[in-house]
Amino acid sequence: MLTFIIRRVLIGLGILLVSSFLLYLLVDLTIEPLEDLIASTDPNKEFQIAERIRLLELDEPVIQRYFEWLGGVLTGDLGTAWRTNRPVGELLQGAIISTVQLVSAATVLSIVLGVAVGIVSALRQYSGFDYLITFVSFLLFSLPSFWVAVLLKQWGAIGFNDFLANPWIAWGIVVGLGVIAGFLWQLAIGGAVKRRLINAAIGGGATIAALAFLQLSGWWETPNIGPVILAVTSVVIAFAVTALSTGLRNRRALYTALTCAALGVALWYPVRFYLFYYLTDYMNWGVVALLALLAIGVGVGIGVLYRGPDWKQSARTGGIVAFLVAGLIFIDQVMSVWGPYYNSNAINGRPIPTIGDRTPNLGGNWWVGVLDSYTHLLLPTLALMLISFAGYTRYSRGSMLEVMNQDYIRTARAKGLTERTVVVRHGFRNSLIPLATIVPLDVITLIGGAIITERIFGRPGMGQLFLQSLDTDQIEPVMAYLMIVAFLAIVANIIADLIYAVLDPRIRVNA
């Protein structure tokens, strides 16, 4: 594998070198740094043109300028944006963070939701649910991202902020949403008429009960997870993760998951108290990562303590459940500062923003800053996620259908394996192989698509930097953006090959 990685890295560096040369030539042909001076009526125009030619070395051949730029890049100097006289590396720092936040959130959510819905759609082929998901997927896939973004600004920001001024949902709408949820739930599960009616009643009743609880408890004014929602959600997570990971018949794994859920509920208040009163001044994302690893370690440890011949499965289940429950506690802590955030002068009762990636002059502690970042991420992430969700749904559905028609699936069923084992261990894992190519490359596509989204939502990310630099004829920032995207594309291809080998043991990366 090491030989493969070294070989691919060397090939990638060669491709990067050639592509950088071609891109430099194309960008140089595209921009015109002297355009504003040529159109100027200043009597000192000729002198200014000569000074800019000297500053940008435009009198030198473009190939010579390319190698001077390349030499600077190899020594860590990405150049200077000549209009602002700021180093490109300084401009990229904030832009990369903003874009990575947006793309990461959109990618994770679209993959998880898209693949899950696609798998269910494949297992329910030619059912009402399958037809509905197919229609919604094609509809979302055909929508232009800028139009989706504008609609989200109108209804997701302006409309929702107006709703928060008087947060009350009519009971008729609550019942209607429950009926819709029950209808979708019975479509997804299927079965005989009696089973469909039972599932529809359970899904609709649960939806109505949840909305009624949120409304009657004043949740819209002070949103939080709290011990009640945490307990219910943790138990649901425990059963769901166990069902997917090992099956509910594995009692040790189920007891591990439920123990992790109960421990999370028991530690809800102590953990929040410690985080707010003792760690607030020291909090950063590094500390959050360490706490997440600690939670996973505790879950794995609980699985090991239950022992048994399948303790590794219990440990895996415990680690996943503990991580998800800890995530709920973290989200609850972030939401606990909603009151000061909502009532601050900078927010003025309009917490869902339409532009930027942070609120100017907000103030507050680290938790307020995190909440502010989340609210700014909400709409642009949703805009990118909807388009990607449609693609992942179609890809995962087609891949799962192809896998479930293979001979080894029929053999697994003939051996008497449970349907969960056949679907999860044999079907789902092999259906991920085609996605191993799509997902890494789609991340690069999302960065390109984020240009439009960042422009509409006014996020100061790499897309905005690229457009502004192109408009102002600054070649160094443009080249920095293009080279970062090219580098990530090469890395994505290498990662895709490695994921192939992990998912399919028949594939050897050193072959």
Does residue 326 belong to any structural domain of this protein?
yes
Query: Mean pLDDT throughout 487-492?
Result: 84
Residue 177 belongs to some domain of the structure: no
pLDDT at residue 508 above 70? no
Examine the domain organization and report whether 349 and 407 are in the same domain: yes
The string of DSSP codes covering 452-469 is HHHHHHT--SHHHHHHHH
Residue 387 shares a structural domain with residue 471 = no
Of the three residues 404, 431, 458, the one that is the final residue of a domain is 431
Choosing from 373, 396, 431, the residue where a domain stops is: 431
Does residue 106 sit in the same domain as residue 86?
Answer: no
Instruction: Note whether residue 82 is domain-resident.
Output: yes
Q: Residue range 173-190: average pLDDT?
A: 90
- For residue 139, tell me if it sits in a domain: no
User: 410-418: long-range contacts (C-beta < 8 A, 24 or more apart)?
Assistant: 418/247
Q: Is the pLDDT of residue 448 over 80?
A: no
- Alpha carbon 357 to its chain's center: 16
In this structure, are 253 and 335 located in the same domain? yes
In a domain, 219, yes or no: no
Are 347 and 487 contained in the same domain?
no
**pLDDT > 70: what percent of the chain?**
97
Average of per-residue pLDDT across 92-111: 86
- 480's tokens: 């920095």
| Residue 129 in domain | no
Is 67 inside a domain boundary?
yes
356/499 same-domain check: no
- Please check whether residue 381 lies inside any domain of the structure: yes
The residue ranking higher by pLDDT, 265 or 105, is 265
Instruction: Report which of residues 262 and 128 the model is more confident about.
Output: 262
Answer yes or no: do 49 and 155 share one domain: no
Residues 55, 21: one domain? yes
Whether residues 374 and 475 fall in one domain: no
396 and 251 housed in the same domain: yes
CA distance 315 to 311: 6
Per the structure, the complete domain to which residue 56 belongs is given by 2-91+446-503
Q: Mean pLDDT across the stretch 459-473?
A: 88
Determine the pLDDT at residue 439. 79
Could you say which of 382, 402, 431 is where a domain stops?
431
**Average pLDDT of the residues in 396-418:** 90
How is residue 167 written in tokens? 């947060």
Q: Is the same domain home to 367 and 499? A: no
Structure confidence at residue 23 (pLDDT): 92
Residue 350 sits in the same domain as residue 424: yes
Would you give the DSSP letter of residue 39? T
User: What percent of the chain has a predicted confidence (pLDDT) above 90?
Assistant: 36
Radius of gyration of the chain (CA): 27
Q: Give 17-48 pLDDT, tens digit per residue.
A: 999 999 999 999 988 888 888 887 778 888 88
224-243 per-position pLDDT tens digit: 898 989 999 999 999 999 98
Tokens of 304: 């090991």
User: Quick one: pLDDT at residue 351?
Assistant: 92
Average pLDDT, whole number, for the chain? 88
With a cut of 70, say whether residue 8 has pLDDT above it. yes
In the chain, the number of structural domains is 2
